A and B are shown apart, each in its own frame.
Chain A
Amino acid sequence: MADTVKKNREPLMHIVKRDDITGWKAWAIRIGAILLGLLLTGVISGLLTGASFGEVYSIMFKGVFGKFSMIFQGKTTMLWRFLQQTAILLCLALAVTPAFKMRFWNCGAEGQALMGGLAAMICMIEIGDKVPNGVLILIILASSLLAGAIWGLIPAIFHALYKTNETLFTLMMNYVATQLVAYYVVLTTAGAGSNIIKPVEHGNLPILLGEKYLLNVLVVTFLMVAVFIYLKYSKHGYEIAVVGESQNTARYVGINVKKVIIRTMMISGAICGIAGMLMVAGTDHSINTNTMGGQGFTAIMISWMGQFNPFIMAAMSGLVTFLKTGAAKVADTFFLNSSYADIVSGIVILFLVGCEFFIKFSVKFRHGKKGGKV
């Protein structure tokens, strides 16, 4: 008797593929994962710093938004800085999304944005004092869009015509862009005692209502809505979805796959170009190889985590920006080094990505009665 029980023994748990999961359930799992991730980071922070859980998060909050009292006094500089960082990250995530939806893995947002920024910088320096500022800004806009689009176009053409691997190609293009920026910086600063381009006065984007970052935030908000509509309601968006699902189906229904790939990558690159322009003409008024600060890579993850939905991507950008800025503040307060910020955002992102497993599969525990013959 006992033997038969042992033979039929079920493992403690096993996993079953979920056939379909309702939207709210999936989101409950994701939000739960974020909360668990935050809990774990709080605990690790507590162990590292000796501060309590609440203290860690209040320092994070202070590092991102400033003091509560400031907010009530209407001092919003910190809030704007948060919105600015979120906006730039979101802009890059928006840029890669059409390509991702098409299953074209554009890992070149960093380089495409740098090229857009470089184009803006070149206009500002080389023709800045020759044309009126309004005209200059239009020229900057056009050249940034073009530069980003070209940087997206090159790997797209090779992929469409010769089936090159787009992931590697776009990644390599980042290095080329970085080196071009380095070259231009050296070219314009040679012998000046450093390789820093001092902020250029010409071609700065206008400051609206006295708030430097307002225009950047508005532009990205507009892009967010535009990308949403483009992907969901336009014919192009439909074509992108079909190409992403199955290129053969796309071909069968008469979609020119090569054309869609090339067109979409140009759009992707052009939006990156805008991000670069916002950083150079709208924010730094200068450029260096670190102007985009690796956000082009973070954006890839934002796009994934946001399920290619621009509004959710905005929330994810906000979350990641909060974690990075807040964790940096905790690190500075307790004299930890910069790896701490990476650990914190890494943990939360790991939870978020990991929870997709629990959305696709469900874990079944052994139930004594159903298990075997008793």
Chain B
Amino acid sequence: MKKLFALLLAALMVFGMVACGQTGDNTDGTGEANKPAEQMKVGFIFQHDEQSTYDKNFIDAAVEACKKMNVQMVQKTQIPESQKCYDAAVELIETEGCEIIFADSFGHESFLIEAAKKYPDVQFCHATGTQAHTAGVKNFHNAFASIYQGRYAAGVVAGLKLKEMIDSGKITAAQAKMGYVGAFTFAEVMSGYTSFYLGAKSIVPEVTMDVKFTGSWYDETKEKQAAQALIDGGCVLISQHADSMGAPTACETAKIPNVSYNGSTAAACPETFLISSRINWAPYFEYMITQVKNGKEIDTDWTGTIETGSVVLTEMGKNVAAGTQEKLDEVLKGLKDGSINVFDTKNFTVKGETLTSYKANVDEDADRAADTEVIENGIFQESKFRSGPYFDLEIDGITLLDRNYGE
């Protein structure tokens, strides 16, 4: 027994030395001990952690923005869309003293509004939400980006590739059918694939598109199967709005060009990757921090654009059509200066007719009624009446092979 005790004691001492020996290294800025007291703190609530591509996009941007703005980032990861989001906000405010709280998932919204009501002096910012403009809570704000512009530009790249295939006699114009793997049949996804389609159509007017939904933001198997089904159905180019590598890898195997989302997939799919669009959240984080630092109000609905650096396109893959870069630069310039409007009603028809008026469900309420006229000056004004997308029209040329509203 004595021997055992001695052994334990020795082990303890070694451990203690190892543990204490490390303390000197704590100057890399991750620990809290050496932080000056006056530095402003910003709290971030993430639904998962960096293992999820969705959250990683936010976490990377937050780290970058906080470093640039010289504020301290305090994060809470793995926060579900429940009362726990409210609890996390309370902790960030009461124990950490955060002056801004940001949450990254759609379902956090109601719980964040509850916290915003309790702490009127703290600013609450929420990505992808829809309630800020009707909630009447002054310190609660929504933000999104006009990613439809990025998808339109990516669509142009896809269109050029299709044109190359037609010109080289690989396919006929009538065979120019694209496929799209979507997560759910809601406005965010519909707005995305429609803008992608319109981008391609601006190059190849005959193009059509089939859409399949997986019913999940991340399901590699289902996304792969959906992409394969589209390829089998005659689609000659695939894009997707879902977070896994399912569709890109299916394309690489089948040697079908792919337009990716949320980042480049060139490393895994060098032969087929064309381009990818993604939202960069750093500009918004810098904006909200600047506003609070200067004692100014944050916009109720903030929409990042190509101009603000919120909508970005990755580098292009090696197999894009010749002349793509020039055309892309021209399109990006047009999107920036407003000479190209993605949802110009001249560019699409619904059931054979050009729209002159459409009411969308912009205000979140129980009845989900269409409440706001969104066509102005012949343009469907996406992201104008609130930052979150509300384009939910099914336009001609796009065929929905299935629908999926949930699990």
Contact = CB atoms under 8 A, between A and B. Distances in A.
A69 to B, nearest CB: 10
Interface in A295-350: 328, 331-335, 337-338, 341
B30 A334 contact: yes
B188 A182 contact: no
A9 interface: no
A195 interface: yes
Contacts of B114: 199
Contact of B30 (A67, A291, A333): A333
Contacts of B186: 191-194
A238 interface: no
Contacts of A341: 78
A293 interface: yes
A337 B77 CA distance: 8
Nearest to A62: B95
A194 B215 CA distance: 11
Given A62-B95, A77-B91, A365-B4, 13 more contacts: A55-B31, A55-B33, A66-B95, A186-B407, A189-B406, A191-B405, A193-B130, A194-B184, A195-B406, A289-B407, A291-B82, A334-B30, A337-B77
A1 B109 CA distance: 83
B81 interface: yes
Contact of A337 (B50, B91, B95): B50
Contact of A51 (B31, B48, B95, B368): B31
A284 B188 CA distance: 26
A78 B18 contact: no
A247 interface: no
Contact of A43 (B19, B74, B82, B110): B19
Interface string B12-33: 1001101110110110101111
Contacts of B77: 328, 331-332, 337-338
Interface in A186-210: 186, 189-196, 198-199
Given A194-B106, A195-B405, A338-B78, A43 B87 contact: no
Contact of B405 (A59, A190, A328): A190
Contacts of A335: 30, 75
Interface of A: 39-40, 42-43, 46-47, 49-53, 55, 59, 62-63, 66-67, 70, 75, 77-78, 81, 182, 185-186, 189-196, 198-199, 283-286, 288-291, 293, 328, 331-335, 337-338, 341, 365
A194 B18 contact: no
- Indicate the member of A43, A193, A288, A328 with the most B CB atoms within 10 Å: A193
Nearest to A198: B110
Interface in B109-153: 110-111, 114, 130
Interface string B43-57: 000001111000000
A288 B22 CA distance: 43
Contacts of A42: 15, 19
A225 to B, nearest CB: 26
B187 interface: yes
A3 B4 CA distance: 29
Q: What are the 6 closest A-B residue pairs judged by CB atoms, nearest first?
A: A186-B406, A46-B19, A196-B107, A195-B406, A52-B23, A53-B19
Contacts of A191: 186, 368, 405
Contacts of A290: 80, 82
B82 A51 contact: no
Interface of B: 1, 3-4, 12, 15-16, 18-20, 22-23, 25-26, 28, 30-33, 48-51, 74-78, 80-83, 87, 90-91, 94-95, 106-107, 110-111, 114, 130, 184, 186-188, 368, 388, 405-407
17 contacts: A43-B15, A47-B18, A50-B25, A53-B16, A53-B20, A59-B32, A66-B95, A77-B91, A190-B405, A191-B368, A195-B406, A195-B407, A196-B106, A199-B110, A333-B32, A337-B50, A365-B1
A194 B25 CA distance: 45
Contacts of A70: 94-95
Contacts of A47: 18-19, 22
Contacts of B407: 182, 185-186, 195, 289
Contacts of B187: 193
Nearest to B406: A186
B31 A334 contact: yes
